[in-house]
Amino acid sequence: MEILLVSLLPYIIGSAVVPLQIIIGLLLLTSPQQGLLKAIAYVGGMTLTRILQGVVFGLILAEAIATAEEGSGKGPVISTLLLVLGILLLIAAYKKWSGEDDPDAPPPKWFTRIDRATPLQAFGFGFAFPLISAKLWVFTLSALTTIAAAELGQSSSAIAYLLFIVLAQSLLLLPIVTCIVLPTRSQTVLNHLADWMTRNSRPIGIGVSLIFGLWFLYSGIKGFLK
């Protein structure tokens, strides 16, 4: 299990540091009315989607994925997913880098509507986000493929995937826990953090996409060469 968690670490970190999902979570958490409830609903929606993805692709496709892996290397399925993910991230980094730089531009209009969102709508945001994000799809499929290739058995594989979900959402859960433990003192800090991430989402996105894009591209090519 420890070796598997090390193998899952790049997908965990990659899933956790997606700037947009963190910004949405912080804006929901710091909204004036029912902020904590909306943030919990948002994370709950993401968790449900990832569980459903795990059921569909883990139970239905696990045997086929594991059978396709040969030898002690990463195998063709994982290597292909790594290549695809690396290319997607590098394309995303280029698109962000080549766009017009306007740090004084206001956030997208739908950001301003988050304060008025209901907990049910926040749940919908969370449920939809992993479905519409190509990067999160590939992170999740890569994690499921890695777990299937480890051949730990159904129970251990389910535990490993649940750990992946929790750790992949750790940067969403940490502010919620902080808000529960320190409700008054944390509000100002979380507000400043949300403002800072909203202003700097573009350079953060470029850096994250570039670093992980190069890493996954290298890992995918290395897997094919073994």
Q: Fill in the amino acid letter for 193.
A: L
CB atoms closer than 10 angstroms to residue 187? 15
Question: How far is Cα 2 from Cα 50, in angstroms, rounded to an integer?
Answer: 22
Is it the case that residue 195 has pLDDT exceeding 90? no
Q: What is the pLDDT of residue 103?
A: 44
> What are 28-39's pLDDT values in tens digits?
998 888 889 999
pLDDT at residue 188 in the model: 81
Mean per-residue pLDDT of the chain? 81
Say what the pLDDT of residue 73 is: 47
Quick one: which H or E segment has residue 13?
helix 2-16
Number of CB atoms found within 10 A of residue 104's CB: 5
Q: What is the mean pLDDT of residues 142-155?
A: 82
**pLDDT score recorded for residue 196:** 83
Task: Indicate whether 15 pLDDT > 80.
Answer: yes
C-alpha 196/C-alpha 188 separation (Å) is: 12
> 169 — phi, psi (to 5°)?
-105, 15
Q: What's the pLDDT score for residue 162?
A: 95
Average pLDDT, integer, range 187-215: 81
The span from the CA of 61 to the CA of 65, in Å, is 6
pLDDT in tens, 87-135: 888 887 888 788 744 443 445 555 667 778 899 999 999 999 999 887 7
Sign of the Cα torsion 110, 18, 138, 82 reads positive
Burial label, 161 (beta-carbon count in 10 A; 0-12, 13-18, 19+): buried
The pLDDT, as a whole number, for residue 75 is 62
Residues of the chain with pLDDT > 90: what percent? 25
Say what the pTM is: 0.81
User: How confident is the model over 16-73, as pLDDT tens digits?
Assistant: 988 889 988 998 998 888 889 999 999 999 999 999 999 888 766 566 555 555 444 4
Predicted pLDDT of residue 37: 95
At 159 the pLDDT is 92
What is the reported pLDDT for 193? 84
